[in-house]
Structure 1
Amino acid sequence: MKIEIINRYQGKSCVIGKFKVFDENGDLIFNCFALQEDTAGLESGKDLRIPQGIYKLKRHPHSRFEATLRKITGNENDTMLNVYNDLVPYERHILIHWGNTDKDTQGCILLGETKTSDESIGGSRAACKEFYNLMRGVNLDMVELVIKDELE
């Protein structure tokens, strides 16, 4: 399984891109929008989006978002997904979750069904529900997340 985030739209306070999930055969099985912080960087605690590159996913139990995730998906065993690699440690806690603007990101990746403006996305909880339902039971060792910047 492969996930791609292609950052396309530069807003004043965020970037918005396409978030795509492909199965083992390379077929597109899910897509939505992703909203991240406007500036990329490696420093923790600075509200920076992670830079383009190749990342891994790991489950992140006991997140403050976990109870809400379980309400959204209807599954009591769901846990948040944490994005990391050799340059961006797991401990930075870059999660994939819901939200509509850069005020909701804190460096994380937000999902949404629609791009409502250059500064916001909509249908975030619905997009997260579909994505997390898709990821339930997936062996994350077999998942690669690729982030590319193709900003206008």
Structure 2
Amino acid sequence: MEIRVKLSRQGKNTTLSELYINDEFICYVLEDSIRDEKIPGSTAIPAGRYKLEYNRYGAMNGRYQRWYPKFHKGMIELKGIPNFSYVYIHKGNTHANTAGCLLVGNTMRYDKNFGDYEVHQSQKAYKTVYKRLSALMEKGEVFIKVRY
């Protein structure tokens, strides 16, 4: 199975995309800026195709397990990204929350004062995305194509 993250817009420090499963729009995705040279924790992942796997270790996994004990099976991590590690799909609203990860939200907003995008209703979007991706991952391999 393959899901897509399609580039929508770029702000001063943000990249806004749309996440699709089976060509159905699911939610918005917020990342840091696309850069030619990586700045750790401040750079969007490069365009490519990456496998999704559970990561069941670390403090973030523990927090999400406490917040979502009924369905959390581990952080959904994008694997095999050159020069990147621990890239998760998780909740958050601004580029300050990303640290190189993909934030999900049901709505988006452009902040004219800062020239950046934000995603909102992130917790609701996260629950939806996590449950759908988790169900797909239980059936077999799942890959994410970023910026296509």
* TM-score past 0.5 threshold: yes
Name the counterpart of 1:20: 20
Residues 86, 45 of structure 1: alpha-carbon distance in 2 compared, 3 angstrom cutoff = closer
Residue 56 of structure 2 is aligned to residue 61 of structure 1: yes
For structure 2, the residue ranges without an aligned partner over 5 or more in a row are: 111-115
Name the counterpart of 1:95: 88
Q: Distance in 1 between matches of 2:81 and 2:62?
A: 29
Residues 144, 11 of structure 1: alpha-carbon distance in 2 compared, 3 angstrom cutoff = same
Q: How does 1:68-87 map to 2 (within 5 A)?
A: 68-75=63-70, 77-85=72-80, 87=82
* Contact 1:41 1:48 (C-alpha < 8 Å) held by counterparts: no
2:131 to 133, 140, 149: 133
Residue 100 of structure 2 is aligned to residue 107 of structure 1: yes
SS of residue in 1 equivalent to 2:7: strand
* Contact 1:56 1:84 (C-alpha < 8 Å) held by counterparts: yes
What TM-score, normalized to structure 2? Answer: 0.82
Query: 1:36 Cα shift?
Result: 0.3
Q: Which amino acid aligns with 2:7?
A: N
For structure 1, the residue ranges without an aligned partner over 5 or more in a row are: none
SS of residue in 2 equivalent to 1:65: helix
Q: Distance in 2 between matches of 1:86 and 1:120?
A: 24
Name the counterpart of 1:11: 11
Residues 48, 148 of structure 1: alpha-carbon distance in 2 compared, 3 angstrom cutoff = same
SS of residue in 1 equivalent to 2:125: helix
Residues 49, 41 of structure 1: alpha-carbon distance in 2 compared, 3 angstrom cutoff = farther
Query: 1:69 Cα shift?
Result: 2.6
**Aligned pairs, how many?**
142
Residues 86, 70 of structure 1: alpha-carbon distance in 2 compared, 3 angstrom cutoff = closer
Q: Which amino acid aligns with 2:97?
A: D
* Contact 2:45 2:81 (C-alpha < 8 Å) held by counterparts: no
Residues 46, 106 of structure 1: alpha-carbon distance in 2 compared, 3 angstrom cutoff = closer
Query: 1:131 Cα shift?
Result: 1.1
SS of residue in 2 equivalent to 1:110: strand
Residues 33, 148 of structure 1: alpha-carbon distance in 2 compared, 3 angstrom cutoff = same
Query: 1:12 Cα shift?
Result: 0.9
Q: How does 1:22-41 map to 2 (within 5 A)?
A: 22=22, 28=24, 31-40=26-35
* Contact 1:72 1:125 (C-alpha < 8 Å) held by counterparts: no
* Contact 2:71 2:131 (C-alpha < 8 Å) held by counterparts: no
Query: 1:135 Cα shift?
Result: 2.5
Q: Distance in 1 between matches of 2:139 and 2:95?
A: 27
